[in-house]
Homo-oligomer: A and B are copies of this chain.
Amino acid sequence: MAATDLSAADLLPLVSQLNAEYARAIDDDRLEDWPGFFVERCVYKITSADNHRKGLPVGVIYADSRGMLHDRVAALREANIYERQSYRHLVGLPAIRGEDDAAVRAETPFLVVRIMRDGRMDLFATGRYLDTLVEDAGALRFRERIVVCDSSRIDTLLAIPL
């Protein structure tokens, strides 16, 4: 099955499942599984809506290979700066944006709540995922995931992937 042989209605459950599993991996603190959602030569970046609109360079996180994502997880594990909180992703309904050259584009809103060790909860981030997905070794994977945060006040100590 090539992803591109499928209609938007067929793709929706596949893209939904991918998003659900991606969010679970992060919220379950299985960060080592996170790079596996991407193809080897991928783009992952976190930016703000303002910077994205103005075409400004990414200020927060940029990676262009699965290896860089693994490195980031290793650094996070070493720094261990996020131990005192957990996160909960609520991923909205994906909008399937069409297909070109054997890839599927999707745009999906998200909201992340941060839960402090003392039980307090706050809105940590909202935004949208701008994704390019391809079939890779029998699974749908991200060739590109651009995380556009609505707020420009992104925590510079941002630890977890979004």
Q: In the complex, what residues of B have CB within 8 A of residue A95's CB?
A: 17, 20-21, 24
**Segment at the B interface, from A30-38, A39-47, A73-81, A86-94:** A86-94
| A113 touching B126, Cβ below 8 Å | yes
Q: Report yes or no: B92 in contact with A90, Cβ–Cβ below 8 A.
A: yes
* Contact residues in B for A86 (Cβ distance below 8 Å): 49, 150
Q: How far is the CB of A105 from chain B (nearest CB, A)?
A: 13
Inter-subunit contact A27/B109 (CB<8 Å): yes
Given known A9-B13, A19-B93, contact A113–B121 (CB-CB < 8 A)? no
For A123, give its contact among B89, B93, B121 (CB under 8 Å): B121
A147 on the interface (CB 8 Å rule)? no
- The answer to the question of A63 belonging to the interface, with a C-beta cut-off of 8 Å to chain B, is no
Q: How many copies does the complex hold?
A: 3
Q: Is A126 a contact partner of B119 (Cβ separation < 8 A)?
A: no
Q: Name the residue among A17, A89, A115, A118 with the largest chain B CB count within 10 angstroms.
A: A115
CB nearest neighbor in B for A25: B95
Q: How many residues of A contact B (CB 8 A)?
A: 44
Name, among A23, A90, A93, A153, the residue most crowded by chain B CB atoms within 10 Å (CB to CB): A93
Q: A12-B16, A120-B153 are in contact. List 16 more A-B contacts (CB 8 A).
A: A9-B14, A9-B17, A12-B13, A17-B93, A17-B95, A20-B108, A24-B128, A88-B127, A88-B128, A90-B109, A90-B126, A91-B93, A113-B150, A118-B153, A119-B152, A121-B150
Sorted nearest first, the 4 A-B pairs with minimum C-beta distance are A119-B153, A20-B95, A88-B126, A20-B93
